[in-house]
Amino acid sequence: MKQPTFFLSHGGGPWPWMDGDFRQAHAQLEASLQAVPASLPALPKAILMISAHWEAPAFTVMTSARPGMLYDYGGFPPHTYEVVYPAPGDPALAERVVGLIEAAGLPAARDATRGFDHGAFCTLAPMYPEAQVPVVQLSLRSGLDPAEHLALGRALAPLRDQGVLILGSGFSFHNLALMFNGRGQAPSVAFDAWLQTALPAAEGRAERLMAWERAPAARLAHAREEHLLPLMVAAGAAEGDAASCNYHQADYLGGLTASSFRFG
């Protein structure tokens, strides 16, 4: 059955393996991720994960049958550098992804050694804690061109009819300089309000996303847009479908507004 696509705000560091206030700050996000599987038409045959934490000169596909782990964060407790998300890879799906990218005239590459980064495993662990669904990770392309990432999504769209769940993992607000000092509250509210109006209707959405830098507080919300580009892929893969907000929080980490969206 045809799967929807998602743009997911993935939270901070290894939060699913934390306790106390930091874990509690992610309670709403965790509940929204836990709710995703029941909202799908069927158990995905595989997941294609586009994470904000992987950029490469070409769109690069993880090809390992048994991906490892990449602990791409710092300053967290020692046990968070030992967590494992043991989902299998899917080399056959990886080859289909490479073929679709190349057929669209976009550059593609393979990586047999890359492990899951926290943009991937911190969203997947609440969704599928048993890690039973195969996962293939796909990079962003250096240069972070919105048009290229929308085109990537369009190229990947046929996978939805093959039971593949396409997940873009980033964050609706990502400016570390403003995140923890209260200065991010107003720009996160302003940019989130734009997302809430720009995304639901399919008509004209690609054009609105192409012009995202003209949105209110755009460059304050995303000083660098790597955490927004997974949204372009999810939207491109569901270009004709309406979108809805499946997670919205106005007090993330003490005052930031954050959201996730489902397409289709």
Q: Which residue has the tokens 């007090």?
A: 251
Structure tokens at 92: 């056959």
Q: Where are the domains of the chain?
A: 5-263
CB distance 235 to 263 below 8 Å: yes
Q: How many CA atoms lie within 13 A of 132 on its CB side?
A: 7
Q: pLDDT tens digits for 92-138?
A: 999 999 999 999 999 999 999 999 999 999 999 999 999 999 999 99
From the number of C-beta atoms within 10 Å of its C-beta (0-12, 13-18, 19+), residue 95 rates as middle
The whole-angstrom separation of Cα 23 and Cα 194 is 28
CATH of 5-263, one of 2.40.128.110, 3.40.830.10, 3.90.1150.10, 3.65.10.10: 3.40.830.10
The whole-angstrom separation of Cα 118 and Cα 74 is 11
Q: pLDDT tens digits for 204-234?
A: 999 999 999 999 999 999 999 999 999 999 9
The reported pTM is: 0.97
What is the arithmetic mean of pLDDT over 188-200? 98
What is the arithmetic mean of pLDDT over 152-159? 98
Does the pLDDT at position 254 exceed 90?
no
CB distance 165 to 33 below 8 Å: no
Q: pLDDT tens digits for 32-90?
A: 999 999 999 999 999 999 999 999 999 999 999 999 999 999 999 999 999 999 999 99
The whole-angstrom separation of Cα 85 and Cα 67 is 9
